[in-house]
Structures are given as structure tokens and as C-alpha cells.
Amino acid sequence: MSQAIPSPGEALRAVRFEAGVLHLLDQRALPHETRWLVCHDAAAVADAIRAMVVRGAPAIGIAAAYGMAMAAAAGDDPEIAEATLRASRPTAVNLHWALARMRALGDVDAAVRAEEARAIHAEDLAQNLRMAELGAGMLGTGARVLTHCNTGALATGGHGTALGVIRTAWSAGRLGAVFHTETRPWLQGARLTAWELAAEGIPATMIADAAAAQLMAGGGLDWVIVGADRVAANGDTANKIGTLALATCARAFGTRVMVVAPSGTVDPDCADGAAIPIEERDGDELCTLGGTRSAPAGTRAWNPVFDVTPAAMIDAFVCERGVARPALGEHPAELLRGPADGGQETESTAGSA
Ligand code: MRU
């Protein structure tokens, strides 16, 4: 069913679990159409994740948790449901993290599983708010920031990771300028981030992905702020394709790099970035624009949708437990061993590129 775009606040609730059924705001249709997909079982959730109806690492994990809750309510085989969901997308470790948490419940009834899924959802929002405070606290007054892909309310349980930092910093009057990329080829930046920023009334400037080097070379940027799909124990970070290019330019031109992700995005089982599986999607996503073919028929395309930024290029890793400085050899996995509430960071303690 499709309808006119509702008020932004309403539309920004992208994942809803109501009366035992999962409603997903179809992110393929945004920003021009608001369409909800209703999932009644784990297989439908897996299809929705694969097709990018729901996307963004935390949102994928939350949707999968609800998928397991629906499998329990229907009496479906939990192992099949879990395997189906696990196979839906390979890079975002939040999916595996959420499934492991649901599995760890053991032999409980469906109502307890639904409650756990709701808890995962609510905790994600709380973690985002905490990360936003930590990250915003690291920005100097008048900071000029660039974000990539969509890491906002659409990609999470609410508020967002990197975009959450930008929202909070904007409310605190800390930002001098906000830039975001288009994010080829799926246009998460042009379609989703632009829409979220406009909904919040945050003035922003979109650039072509390839324009970031020119922006940095001209001294026009202080921070690149991105989310993550999987952070290896040493801080190497998989995120939307193009993040590595942004970090490389940032290194060259003295711009700092901040990665913002909840602790569920850290994978202690991946020692470094070489162990992170990188999703490759259909080359047709590159050969078309808005459903219209842009490349000639027969064009061969390679379409990896994530890349890995080495820890040495990341000045700050912000999670709800605190801040690590991967470029200085501090490993994000260490934060998982510390207390659950990190300390407040300020720019003066954050180190520089
Ligand atoms: O392919 P997507 O749209 O699921 O990729 C999303 C990203 O790469 C985000 O930057 C990442 O998941 C962090 S979102 C909070």
C-alpha cells in the first residue's frame, strides 16, 4: 500500500512491531513515496533485509530479532529461521549479534522473545543518544562535518549513529557546516540522509562522492563522521563503499575521521579487517539510475558495497561505552571489557590527526 508522505516525525519510525507483526518502512521507495511492508514471519524479514527494504547495520539486527520473535510465536523451527535470517546480508555483524542474543534466551516462550526483541530495539536508541553526546562533545565549535551513506533514524532504532552525532551537535549549536555524499550506487545519502536532515531542519550540502577530496583539499572540512557495519577487534572498520576513499583523503588533507557505532557492531572474532566478509551486490545496481539504464547493455560491473578502513586512519571510535583512538593504537574491542558507561570526551582530550 502506498500513500502520501506523512509528517517527518511519523515517517522516521522505520521499524514497528505491532500486534505480533513487523512493519518496515520501505527504504527503496523513499523519499518520494512512503510505503510499508508487513512481515509475518522470519523468511519475509530475511527477504526484506536482502532487498534493502530495511538497511543499516543496527536496523538489520533489530528487524532480525523481531523475525525470531515471530518464528517463536508461529512455532517455526528456530534453527531454520535463524539460518535464513543470518544468510540475508553478510557484512553487518549486528545481524549475527542480535541473533546470538535471541538464541541465548534458551527455552523461553514467545512472549519473552518478543520482549527481548523490543529490548534490543529500545537499547539501540539509548545507545545512539549516548554516542551522540560523546561524539558531539569531541567537535570544536563551528565544526564542518561530512557524513556518508545513511546512518540516521532509518538505519537504527532511532536518532542514528554518525547522523545522531550530527543531530545532537547541531542542536547544541556546534556545527559550522554539514555535508553529505550522494552515496553511489544506492543513493542512501541523496535519498535518505538528505530527507532526514531536511526533516530536522538541519541545513546541509550534498556533494558527489568524488567531490570529497576537493572539499578537503580546499580546507573546507574538519571531520568525516561515519557509521560502521563491522568493526574488527583492532579497529579496522567495514562501512559503506567509499568510506576508505574518504579516510584516505582525510589523511592526506588533515581532516579527522570519527566512526560511531554501538558495541554490537564490534566483532571480537575478527582480529582485523581482512577477516570481515564484504558483500558484493548485483552489478545492475551500478548500471541503472532510478530504474533507468545508464550503462550500455552488456557493461560488466563490479559492485562491492562495503570497504574496510584501516584502524590507523581512524582518529576516534565512539560507542556507547566510550571512545577509543584507533590511530593511536587503542583497540575498540578493549571498550567491550570496560564499564558499560563511557566517560565524556572533549576535543582537547580527543587527540588530533
Ligand atoms: O547497505 P546499507 O545501506 O545497509 O549500508 C549502511 C551503512 O553502510 C551504514 O553506514 C552503516 O550500516 C552504519 S548505520 C548506522
Q: Give a yes or no: residue 9 inside a domain.
A: no
Distance 33 CA to ligand 1 centre (A): 21
Distance 265 CA to ligand 1 centre (A): 11
- Start-to-end CA distance of the chain, whole Å, equals 49
pLDDT at residue 337, as a whole number: 84
Query: Could you give the CA distance from residue 283 to residue 72 in angstroms, rounded to a whole number?
Result: 37
Which of 39 and 335 is assigned the larger pLDDT? 39
Rounded to the nearest angstrom, the gap between the alpha carbon of residue 5 and the centroid of all alpha carbons in its chain is: 23
Tens digit of pLDDT for each residue in 48-86? 999 999 999 999 999 999 999 999 999 999 999 999 999
Check if 156 has its Cβ closer than 6 Å to any atom of ligand 1.
yes
Structural domain boundaries enclosing 49: 15-126
Residue 229 annotated among the catalytic residues of the structure: yes
Q: Give a yes or no: residue 137 inside a domain.
A: yes
The CATH number linked to 304 is 3.40.50.10470
Check if 131 has its Cβ closer than 6 Å to any atom of ligand 1.
no
Burial class (CB in 10 A: 0-12, 13-18, 19+), 4: exposed
Distance 155 CA to ligand 1 centre (A): 7
- 197 & 306 share domain: yes
C-alpha torsion sign, points 30, 32, 34, 39: negative
Report which DSSP code applies to 189: I
- pLDDT over threshold 80, residue 127: yes
Q: Give a yes or no: residue 342 inside a domain.
A: no
- pLDDT over threshold 90, residue 339: no
Check if 188 has its Cβ closer than 6 Å to any atom of ligand 1.
yes
pLDDT at residue 313, as a whole number: 98
Does the N-terminal peptide bond of residue 185 adopt cis geometry, omega within 30 degrees of 0?
A: yes
Determine how many CB atoms are found less than 10 A away from the CB of residue 74. 13
Q: Which of 102, 126, 150 is the last residue of a domain?
A: 126
- pLDDT over threshold 80, residue 188: yes
Element housing 319 (H / E): strand 316-319
Distance 107 CA to ligand 1 centre (A): 33
Check if 55 has its Cβ closer than 6 Å to any atom of ligand 1.
yes
- 330 & 201 share domain: yes
Average pLDDT of the segment spanning 118-143: 97
Residue to mutate, 24, 25, 55, 320, ligand 1, most ligand atoms under 8 Å from C-beta: 55
- 157 & 191 share domain: yes
Query: Could you give the CA distance from residue 341 to residue 344 in angstroms, rounded to a whole number?
Result: 10
For residue 308, which amino acid is it? V
Q: In which residue are the cell numbers 584516505 written? A: 248
Q: How far is CA 72 from CA 11, 69, 109, 115, 162, in A?
A: 29, 5, 7, 12, 34
pLDDT at residue 252, as a whole number: 98
Q: In which residue are the cell numbers 517455526 written? A: 76
Percent of the chain as helix, strand, coil, to the nearest 5: 40, 20, 40
In this structure, what is the dihedral angle of CA atoms 75, 79, 81, 87, given to the nearest 10 degrees? 180
Residue to mutate, 26, 96, 240, ligand 1, most ligand atoms under 8 Å from C-beta: 240
Q: Give a yes or no: residue 158 inside a domain.
A: yes
Does the N-terminal peptide bond of residue 332 adopt cis geometry, omega within 30 degrees of 0?
A: no
Strand partners, 15: 24
Check if 61 has its Cβ closer than 6 Å to any atom of ligand 1.
no
Q: Which range among 11-15, 68-72, 134-138 shows the weakest confidence by mean pLDDT? A: 11-15
Check if 88 has its Cβ closer than 6 Å to any atom of ligand 1.
no
**Protein residue whose Cα sits closest to atom 6 of ligand 1:** 56
The answer to whether residues 105 and 112 touch, using CB atoms and an 8 Å cutoff, is yes
Tens digit of pLDDT for each residue in 146-176? 999 999 999 999 999 999 999 999 999 999 9
Rounded to the nearest angstrom, the gap between the alpha carbon of residue 275 and the centroid of all alpha carbons in its chain is: 20
Q: Which of 126, 152, 184 is the last residue of a domain?
A: 126
Tens digit of pLDDT for each residue in 82-112? 999 999 999 999 999 999 999 999 999 999 9
- 245 & 277 share domain: yes
- 149 & 274 share domain: yes
- pLDDT over threshold 70, residue 2: no
- 65 & 148 share domain: no
Check if 239 has its Cβ closer than 6 Å to any atom of ligand 1.
yes
- pLDDT over threshold 50, residue 4: no
Q: State if pTM tops 0.85.
A: yes
pLDDT at residue 9, as a whole number: 41
- Residue 199: closest CA among 151, 167, 223: 167
pLDDT band at 285 (very low <50, low <70, confident <90, very high): very high
Instruction: Please give the tally of structural domains in the chain.
Output: 2
Q: What is the percent of the chain with per-residue pLDDT over 90, rounded to a whole number?
A: 89
Check if 155 has its Cβ closer than 6 Å to any atom of ligand 1.
yes
Residues 6 or more apart whose Cβ sits within 8 Å of residue 315 = 256, 257, 258, 325, 326, 327, 350, 351, 352, 353
Q: Give a yes or no: residue 343 inside a domain.
A: no
**Protein residue whose Cα sits closest to atom 10 of ligand 1:** 227
